[in-house]
Amino acid sequence: MTITETLAPAQTRGLVEITEVHKSFGALHVLRGVSLTVEPGAVTAILGPSGSGKSTLLRTINHLEKVDSGYVAIDGSLVGYKKRGNSLHELREKDILKQRTEIGMVFQNFNLFGHLTALENVVEAPVVAQGKTKAQARRRGLELLERVGLKDKAHAYPRQLSGGQQQRVAIARALALDPKILLFDEPTSALDPELVNEVLDVIRELATSGTTLIIVTHEMGFARDVADTVVFMDQGQIVESGTPAELFANPHEARTKAFFSKII
Ligand code: ADP
Ligand code: MG
């Protein structure tokens, strides 16, 4: 199935529908036929060894990586492409950016703008990408900083904040566009151990309030508590997936068992 043969599904089942996605970097075949459905409001945790393609998979969801074949759809719309007649055309940059506003992403290293305060970081995208007024965006930005427990740090610069606080600002920033889904790529991997929980608590609150989340993590306890579905990836494929209870207690595949025996 090449991308041009793949016509957008008339009706998709999930909020996110990833179908038979392949992606190579040169000779390296990084995603080898990945399919995944994420229902609205669901929390999906992706686990797997380093190099298995987890980040690349997340990046295909907002078209930071283009798939070689297969497709990704969000809420029934193809990511990065538009169907015209019987063929697919890549969206223009402007439309890709617009589509990306529906998908929030939080990275391992926070990626805040260092020259902007916490509040300015949160306000930037709604003003620039959604045409909100500064006053509207500031009001909402303060609410979001309060939600992540950082209202009192609104005027601090990233360098004045701990890693955990910076990551919470990054989460508020991702929420500011009211995305349909939030993607987290190892959001606590760069943090000192004592700062991990304050970030996980914020993500947990989002999960219980019905936000659709996909989270790549090595925090097994968190995945077990919070995820509706746990997906184990290895070598560019989804080896198996299930509820945390199924997957942690009773993994079927040898590769999954081997991974859990090392990490838990
Ligand atoms: P994970 O997040 O599971 O550790 P990644 O998706 O980051 O895995 O990477 C999967 C494989 O793809 C790795 O071998 C990595 O080196 C390679 N890779 C990722 N991005 C690129 C890129 N832009 N160019 C070349 N190789 C890449
Ligand atoms: Mg990664």
Q: How far is the CA of 60 from the centre of ligand 2 (A)?
A: 13
User: Helix-strand-coil percent breakdown of the chain, rounded to 5?
Assistant: 40, 25, 35
Q: Under a CB-based contact definition with an 8 Å cutoff, are residues 154 and 142 in contact?
A: yes
Residues above pLDDT 70, as percent of the chain = 95
Of 67, 7, 9, 65, residue with least CA distance to 37 = 9
* Mean pLDDT to the nearest integer, 39-46: 97
Q: Among all ligands shown, which has an atom nearest to the Cα of 50?
A: 1
* Residue 113: Cβ within 10 Å count: 12
- Burial (CB count <10 Å: 0-12, 13-18, 19+), residue 75: middle
Domain spans, the chain: 106-178
Backbone angles phi, psi at 165, to 5 degrees: -70, -40
Query: CB of 24 closer than 6 A to ligand 1?
Result: no
Nearest ligand, CA 236: 1
pLDDT in tens, 208-254: 999 999 999 999 999 999 999 999 999 999 999 999 999 999 999 99
Q: Which amino acid is at 2?
A: T
- The residue among 238, 182, 174 whose CA lies nearest residue 40 is 182
Whose tokens are 């838990």? That residue is 264
Residue 207 has pLDDT above 70, yes or no: yes
Atom of ligand 1 nearest to the CA of 233: 3
Quote the radius of gyration of the chain (alpha carbons, Å). Answer: 19
* d(CA 236, ligand 1 centre) in Å: 10
Closest ligand (CA of 51)? 1
Backbone angles phi, psi at 15, to 5 degrees: -70, -40
Task: Say what the pTM is.
Answer: 0.94
Cβ of 27 closer than 6 Å to ligand 1, yes or no, is: no
Give the residue whose CA is nearest to atom 19 of ligand 1. Answer: 56
Determine if ligand 1 sits within 6 Å of the CB of residue 53. Answer: yes
Confidence of residue 4 (pLDDT cuts 50, 70, 90): very low
Cα of 263 from ligand 1 centre, angstroms: 21
- Cα–Cα distance, 55 to 58 (Å, whole number): 5
The type of residue at 190 is A
Q: Which of 253, 208, 243, 195 is CA-nearest to residue 223?
A: 243
Sort 2 into a burial class: Cβ within 10 Å, 0-12 / 13-18 / 19+: exposed
Give the distance (Å) from ligand 2 centre to CA of residue 11: 31
Tens-place pLDDT, residues 107-160: 999 999 999 999 999 999 999 988 999 999 999 999 999 999 999 999 999 999
55 CB near ligand 1 (under 6 Å): yes
Smallest CA-to-CA distance from 259 within 36, 14, 51 is with: 51
